[in-house]
Amino acid sequence: MSAKSRQSLLRAKLAQQILSKAKGFTLIELLVVIVIVGILSAVAIPQFLNQVRRSRTAEAQAALTAVGRGSEVYRLDVGVYPEKYARIEFGCPTTNGADSCGAKGDKFMNDPWSAPNYETPVATAISSVSPQGMRWDTTAVTGASRYITASGSRIQCTIGLGSQEKVVTSLATFVGKSCNVFD
């Protein structure tokens, strides 16, 4: 037997001994890993889904905030809150004159409704006696199937404007932003 063949035989025996001592994972080790992954996913997946719902409502809240600001500018120019979205919608000058433009021809809103997954906001007058407050409401459009609450209904968002002391104590509404994302 030549030295070369002895050397290759020794290498083969050494490799066989190393491989025979190597063992795979035991069943218990695999089960522990599966349980740990299951616990982590049970905690992480609901948190992720809640963040997705929150981001979808943030779209409506940001657009409603712009509408609320336009409503406040309208109230400062005209003296009362607008009764419909068309009064403050983007577009100046219009055929209706002061419907979309301020006293000096300036816009009440710089951009039109910017939440395509939500319906155009609807105004709700809180007080008909004096311009103390109002509320804008919007609902996810019917075709936006991912824009639903935890219970399966369409997401609805609201922004309330006006004097907090006078509006909240006399009527069942609020001043601020809200969405029914977790209903």
Q: What is the DSSP letter of 103?
A: T
- Residue 156: which domain range? 26-179
State the total domains in the chain.
1
| 140 falls within a domain | yes
The answer to whether the pTM exceeds 0.85 is no
Stretch 111-136: mean pLDDT: 77
Q: Which residue has the tokens 């907090």?
A: 164
User: pLDDT tens digit string along 64-89?
Assistant: 888 888 888 888 887 888 888 888 87
| 153 falls within a domain | yes
User: pLDDT tens digit string along 129-173?
Assistant: 555 778 888 888 887 778 888 788 888 888 888 765 544 444 444
Q: What is the DSSP letter of 88?
A: T
| 14 falls within a domain | no
| 70 falls within a domain | yes
Average pLDDT, the chain: 77
Residue 33 has pLDDT above 60, yes or no: yes
CB neighbourhood size of 87 (10 A): 18
| 15 falls within a domain | no
pLDDT recorded at residue 109: 81
Q: What is the percent of the chain with per-residue pLDDT over 90, rounded to a whole number?
A: 8
Q: What CATH number is associated with residue 158? A: 3.30.700
| 19 falls within a domain | no
Return the amino acid letter for 42.
Answer: A
| 17 falls within a domain | no
| 68 falls within a domain | yes
User: pLDDT tens digit string along 38-56?
Assistant: 999 999 988 887 788 788 8
Closest CA to 71 of 122, 105, 140, 141: 122
Return the amino acid letter for 123.
Answer: A
Q: What is the percent of the chain with per-residue pLDDT over 70, rounded to a whole number?
A: 77
